[in-house]
Amino acid sequence: MRVAQEVYLAGVGSWLPDEVTTADAVASGWYEEADRTASGMLAVRVAGELPAPEMAVRAARTALRRAARTGITPDDYGALLHCATYHQGPDGWSAPHYVLHRTLDRPVGAAQVGPGCLGMLTALEMAAHRLAADDGKDAVLLTAADNFSAPLVDRWNSSRLFLLADGGAAAVVSRRDGFARLLSVGSVSAPSMEELHRGGEELFPPGITVGRSLNFEERSDHWRKRWAEGAAPPKVHLGDVVAEAVDRALVDADTDLEKVARICHTGYADGALHTIYLDPLDVEAAHGTWEFTRHIGHVGAADPFIGLERLWTRGEVAPGDRVLLLAAGPGMEVACAVVEITAPYLPAAGTDDGAGTESDNGTAPQEEDQ
């Protein structure tokens, strides 16, 4: 979707817990050395018992402080969209309203957005539509967070494509001004591939209600067995969906990949990152955020915005640079956005600016906008 009106990212923030190195995971017997070597991953962020919505709150406070420097106040927000890929708390309870209560604390709508790891980009498109349709409010707050420390999740072995990581991210979408202008945003889906994430599981009762773990490898093994027995494999490769989604976003942004300074992608392991994202686009890892994400892991829907914050706050992108945000999720669906950096990162004088991590380890500077 070409964004015809002026829509900006006025603020961005993240919060990441301390890391656990993959070497320590191997030494502890959680992770196989062969898998560690193949993945190229160096560390994963682990939050312990800190609830996912609380990480979203911490990330949001950073994004809101930064957005406030453009003149946006809590009364200017028309909605909050919260994204999650795993359970957030009690059934029948609203994580979005928990985040809303502890950030904006205004009587606006708050909703949870999926699907899966492309949720924040889906929410970004929804926010752009809202701002175009309703001129009564000038901003929308986006948040995302997950904690995979739950007993039914083995973050080290649930998938060979990635290591599940904990953390949160937030962004403020505004019609007024910001550090980056949104040029295009959209997605492409291949619904015939939805069964790949379903595997052999029944739809009812939901797996979590009968104690079934989150295990993508079991579902992949189901399909490998079926294909070996003669079942037809998918006719579509996810990499082709990635290429189509990116092509559409670039055309809508009136640009091309050669003019994109950096790509903020999902925090996949080395092989999957190349097969699904980099090789279909014919780009090198240095063009993306691999040297950062290999210290983080896959933080659900938050990944592209964690990457964008890192690039912007460290001066790795500058005004005039175009950045591609890219994620894929169940469905199968690929979403992407093109933004143009319009302002340099300038921390408030004499204060910390706040990327909100317990330890730096390659993340954005430990400062706090006030």
Q: Does residue 51 have a pLDDT over 70?
A: yes
* Interval 360-364 mean pLDDT: 40
Is 360 inside a domain boundary?
no
Is 350 inside a domain boundary?
no
* pTM for the whole structure: 0.92
Instruction: Please give the single-letter amino acid code of residue 247.
Output: D
Same domain, 89 and 171: yes
Full residue range of the structural domain in which residue 219 is found? 192-228
- Predicted pLDDT at 367: 43
Same domain, 250 and 284: yes
Is 366 inside a domain boundary?
no
Same domain, 182 and 198: no
Is 170 inside a domain boundary?
yes
CA distance 45 to 155: 10
Q: What is the pLDDT of residues 171-193, one digit of tens each?
A: 999 999 999 999 999 999 999 88
* Interval 253-266 mean pLDDT: 97
Q: What is the pLDDT of residues 197-239, one digit of tens each?
A: 888 888 999 888 899 888 888 888 888 888 888 888 888 889 9
Same domain, 201 and 184: no
Share the mean pLDDT of the chain. Answer: 92
Same domain, 160 and 72: yes
Same domain, 142 and 117: yes
Same domain, 62 and 95: yes
**How many domains does one find in the chain?**
2
